Structure 1
């Protein structure tokens, strides 16, 4: 099964209340299955059921079979429901 790594972002404004755009910060990192009708695209929902439309897709792909589904740098934000779904037999 092809898996896409999707970042759920939250945007925070500058603490000094100055002008500028909100800066995205990662809330959770989710796994999404491939969309069966669009090659190379994630499905509409993650494995935990959240919509992927507002999420940012990561370019990460596991280097070999059996490797973790997300990069080590993103592990602190792992969605444990998506992770458990991938570990289930």
Structure 2
């Protein structure tokens, strides 16, 4: 089974910007999940994460575990917010 890393994001928060720069909304990663690929669509995320959450409103990460052999399945900068249930499934 092939997995895709997805981000559960917080609601948008107004980003502070310096004068003369455009302001936008910043969305912080709340939790990092793993999800199987959709049946017949190897680049699309399946409907549920490995812990059972709906992936509809989640953002697909550019991180691909297969490109980092020997490393964790998630991006190191988000290690503090990895879903423990997804992590347990990925470690088996």
1:69 to 57, 65, 73: 73
Where structure 1 has 5 or more consecutive residues not aligned to the other structure, the ranges are none
Query: Displacement of 1:67 after TM fit?
Result: 2.8
The two structures have a TM-score, normalised by structure 2, of 0.78
Distance 2:4 2:77 in 1: 16
Q: Secondary structure at 2:10's aligned position in 1?
A: strand
Are residue 13 (structure 1) and residue 13 (structure 2) matched?
yes
Q: Is the 8 A contact 2:15 2:26 kept in 1?
A: no
Cα distance per residue 1:9-50 (max 9 Å; x no partner) = 01243499xxx7542111100000111132311100000000
Distance 2:9 2:76 in 1: 18
Distance 2:8 2:76 in 1: 17
Moved beyond 6 Å, runs of 4+: none
> Over the residues paired in the alignment, what is the CA RMSD in angstroms?
2.1
Moved more, 27-36 or 7-16: 7-16
Where structure 2 has 5 or more consecutive residues not aligned to the other structure, the ranges are 17-22
Query: Displacement of 1:87 after TM fit?
Result: 1.6
